[in-house]
């Protein structure tokens, strides 16, 4: 399959989720060595899970299927430019290439405006719309110190 065929599969996932009443009009496939290893569509409203975006559901499925938390030999095809959360998940999964159909501007035009989050990310925590306050840092650092010295930790 070529890139256009994989993108068409992502679009089919978006259509299937929309028509099945699972959530918003977003779909995704993850490809490894020329084969689809995972599929996802938006399931936010059907699962009451605000993190159940198409890319996140596909990443979860791919990691489970491949028994790994790093997808560094995969490509991700998504029907829309990833939102900030999905983009972060893509980075965490180490996916090196993303293809997308619709732009975030296209999504904004139908009521999915992620621009607010994009604007919030670079702000210092005290300037964000969500109140953020440091608390008990000295106690929390204890767990970080334990991680730092843990001999059998799995790095990610």
Catalytic residues: 55
Sheet containing 74-80: order of strands: 35-41, 27-32, 74-80, 97-102
3-state class percentages of the chain: helix first, strand second, coil last, to nearest 5: 45, 15, 35
- Tokens 């979860």 belong to 60
Residue whose tokens read 């993303």: 98
Q: Are 103 and 81 in contact (CB under 8 A)?
A: yes
Distance CA 70, CA 94 (A): 6
The strand pair at 74-80 and 97-102 is best described as parallel
End-to-end CA distance of the chain: 31
């Amino acid at each position: 399959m070529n890139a256009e065929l994989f993108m068409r599969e992502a679009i089919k996932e978006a259509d299937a989720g929309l028509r099945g009443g699972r959530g918003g009009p977003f779909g995704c496939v993850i490809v490894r060595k020329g084969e689809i290893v995972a599929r996802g569509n938006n399931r936010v409203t059907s699962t009451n899970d605000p993190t159940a975006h198409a890319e996140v559901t596909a990443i979860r499925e791919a990691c489970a299927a491949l028994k790994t938390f790093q997808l560094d030999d995969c490509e991700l095809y998504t029907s829309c430019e990833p939102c900030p959360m999905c983009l972060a998940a893509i980075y965490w999964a180490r996916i090196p290439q993303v293809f997308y159909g619709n732009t975030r501007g296209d999504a904004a035009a139908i009521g999915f405006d992620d621009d607010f989050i994009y604007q919030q990310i670079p702000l210092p925590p005290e300037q964000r719309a969500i109140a953020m306050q440091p608390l008990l840092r000295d106690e929390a650092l204890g767990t970080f110190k334990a991680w730092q010295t843990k001999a059998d930790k799995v790095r990610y």
